[in-house]
Amino acid sequence: MPPSETFRDAALIAVDWGTSRLRAWLLDPRGGVLAEAASDDGIGKVADSHEAVFSRLAADWPSSTPAVMAGMIGSRQGWREVPYVACPATASQIAAGVVRFDAGDRAVAIVPGLVVRSGEGDVLRGEETQIVGLIDGEPAFSGLVILPGTHSKWVRVEAGRIVGFQSFLTGELFDLLSRTSFLRHSVKDDGRDLSRSPGFAPGVRRTAIEEQPFLATLFPVRVRQLVGSVDPGDNLAYLSGLIIGGEIAAARASGRLMPGTPIRLVGSRSLGRAYRVALDLVGFPAETRDGDELVRVGLVHLARVAGLL
Amino acid sequence: MPPSETFRDAALIAVDWGTSRLRAWLLDPRGGVLAEAASDDGIGKVADSHEAVFSRLAADWPSSTPAVMAGMIGSRQGWREVPYVACPATASQIAAGVVRFDAGDRAVAIVPGLVVRSGEGDVLRGEETQIVGLIDGEPAFSGLVILPGTHSKWVRVEAGRIVGFQSFLTGELFDLLSRTSFLRHSVKDDGRDLSRSPGFAPGVRRTAIEEQPFLATLFPVRVRQLVGSVDPGDNLAYLSGLIIGGEIAAARASGRLMPGTPIRLVGSRSLGRAYRVALDLVGFPAETRDGDELVRVGLVHLARVAGLL
């Protein structure tokens, strides 16, 4: 059966193209998944042209199906630089900032990121699409959307509008501290689920409840193991708790986290669970949403508003 | 002229042997410097035996002159592991913890580090000797001694006794953030003196005066350059200000920094100046002391108490 026969319902390719990963879904007109593909060709690693990399990934799919893409693919280092849209922004305003061009027979659209120009300013690329996906499913949602990761984002949503956000280096800092800094001698990744290890909650409490300044909590991670003989696997959980708790404390200090604020946590597996456990400890229960699904739904929503679907 | 003739007054070799550097001074009985030597054979890099490395460095000096050593050379990875002395501690108590052994014709003594066992605990190795040197020159000093570096130490001294201390990862964190994290794309080390660059003071103010949580201040370093087009060289000064200001804020939060506390800053060149500028901004004037001189004076003091001189 030739591809054109297999995928005769194909209407859109939704693409999440970040710094380290490239994922794509072939969708029917209602957003149903016909096929999916993924590779490690994040834009940080693409040696070939972006067009060649994408053509390879989608080789088995119809060559004329339009593609809508979100993430760092729209940055200066991406396929086409897509100017940021100013925040506050609605899904329509984001769709209006989409950059469209042709690649062979295919129409390609890249979604813009968002910029906050007030205060210290902030930027994001990719998360706007997940938020659009979340708003698509919960149009009346007002509250906080937390997207943990290398650079965690805390996004404020009010009735269909993204009104502001704040970024934290949490994931990157955790990697640097646990793998590169001298703390690496005191922690060990033995594959355990960190938020289920006994050290995690005391770490969260240290920074988020006892409100110890984050910078005062790091050297003691070494001392716990050197003097206190704490198990290095559990000490990694403690360090994770310190950092996630520190992020929560910092977000609370800037007024983004208040009692009763509805919270959606966009993540899956262990990282999402770790944030949920930490937020619970601090008294902020959160509902979890699947990030992959949100990005797909968001891309379909934006493609529709932009007239690609 | 044979070495024995040149150095007939040699009474002691004082050695500061840390993770990245090895420095030694050949001293006369009053602590006067007859010769000095240095190499990059920090204990983190020693491939050969410590004895061989030291013999090479001191090859031109009398082989029977006793040597007194401070720093990571007394750690588990050093020449001999020297157990920590419990804090509070006086110079005499530190001298009592010295470990002595012979290396060929030479008597070698290694100074112990200090451990705090109360609270979260803490450890140091090497700085105790600088504090002994400071107390040697100012026996009545009571106040804070700040020793900036890879792992900054804030040491409380009361009339000849080291009563407590707190460690911060400041220098290491600055290196990781500016050279390895994604912030490296937004900062540049162009050789400028950071504390004299316009961005330094606003960085210090952000964390130490406006008391922004440190973790909330990092992503904006990227945004300043990406959106605000700040010069990357000055942005490095801003990052330095944030981190040093964050350390000061964290030390203040733990009650170690109070109005009127006499402060000695042990450092030289640009790092010492940066801390002095930052402390001045926050309203805590500090007097600077030369770290090399303090470690030498401290080693002579301890060698004398321990009966090596």
pLDDT at position B3 is 55
- Chain center to CA of B296: 13
A223 → chain B, closest CA residue: B122
- Judged by CB atoms closer than 8 Å, whether chains meet at B170 and A224 is answered as no
Pair A27, A300: CB distance under 8 Å: yes
- Whether the per-residue pLDDT at A143 is higher than 80: the answer is yes
Joined together, the tokens standing for residue A249 give: 């404390």
Cβ–Cβ below 8 Å for A251 and B216: yes
| Residue A250 to residue B216, Cβ atoms within 8 A | yes
What pLDDT score was predicted for residue B2?
54
CB pairs under 8 A between A and B: 124
* Torsions phi, psi for B111 (to 5 deg): -80, 140
Report the C-alpha gap between A182 and B252 in whole angstroms.
Answer: 25
- Nearest partner of A104 among A69, A142, A64, judged by Cα: A64
Alpha helices in B11-126 (DSSP H): 50-57, 91-96
B147 φψ region: left (φ > 0), alpha (ψ -120 to 50), beta (else): beta
Confidence of residue B309 (pLDDT cuts 50, 70, 90): confident
Place of tokens 């997940």: A130
CB half-sphere exposure, A124, CA atoms < 13 A: 29
Q: Give the model's confidence band at A267: pLDDT under 50 very low, under 70 low, under 90 confident, else very high.
A: confident
Residue range A177-232, pLDDT digits in tens: 999 999 999 999 999 999 999 999 999 999 999 999 999 999 999 999 988 889 99
In this structure, how many other beta carbons lie within 10 angstroms of the beta carbon of residue A40? Answer: 9
What pLDDT score does B269 carry? 78
Q: In the block, which residue shows the tokens 């090497």?
A: B126
pTM of the entire structure? Answer: 0.93
In percent, the amount of chain A with pLDDT more than 70 equals 98
Confidence of residue A2 (pLDDT cuts 50, 70, 90): low
Band of the pLDDT at B5, cuts 50, 70, 90? low
Calculate the average pLDDT of chain A. 94
Asked if residue A1 has pLDDT above 50, the reply is: no
Compare CB distances from B220 to A120, A176, A216 and report the shortest one's residue. Answer: A120
Reported as a single tens digit per residue, the pLDDT across B161-185 is 999 999 999 999 999 999 999 999 9
Q: Rounded distance, CA A51 to CA B272, Å?
A: 52
Name chain B contacts of A172, Cβ cutoff 8 Å: 181-182
One-letter identity of residue B126: G
Cβ-based neighbours of A46, under 8 Å, separated by 6 or more: A53
- A172 and A291 in contact (C-beta within 8 Å)? no
Q: Residue B137: CB partners within 8 Å, gap ≥ 6?
A: B297
User: In one letter, which amino acid is A44?
Assistant: G
Please check the confidence at residue A287 and state whether its pLDDT lies above 80: yes
| Preceding omega of B88 cis (within 30 degrees of 0) | yes
Q: Give yes or no for residue A270 having a pLDDT over 90.
A: no
> Where in B149-262 does DSSP place strands (E)?
152-158, 161-168
Cβ of A167 within 8 Å of Cβ of B249? The answer is no
- Given a cut of 70, whether residue A292 has pLDDT beyond it is yes
* pLDDT tens for each residue of A37-79: 999 999 988 878 999 999 999 999 999 999 999 999 999 999 9
Compare CB distances from B223 to A123, A214, A226 and report the shortest one's residue: A123
Q: Which residues of chain A are within 8 Å of residue B219 when distances are taken between CB atoms? A: 122, 151, 166-169
Q: Does residue B6 surpass a pLDDT of 80? A: no
- Are B213 and A249 a contacting pair at CB < 8 A? yes
Nearest residue of chain B to residue A152 (CA atoms): B219
Residue given tokens 């800092």 in the structure block: A173
What does the pLDDT look like over B31-46, one tens digit per residue? 999 999 999 999 988 8
**pLDDT exceeds cutoff 60 at A24:** yes
User: How far does the CA of residue B243 sit from the closest CA of chain A (Å)?
Assistant: 9
Select the more confidently predicted residue: B2 or B206.
Answer: B206
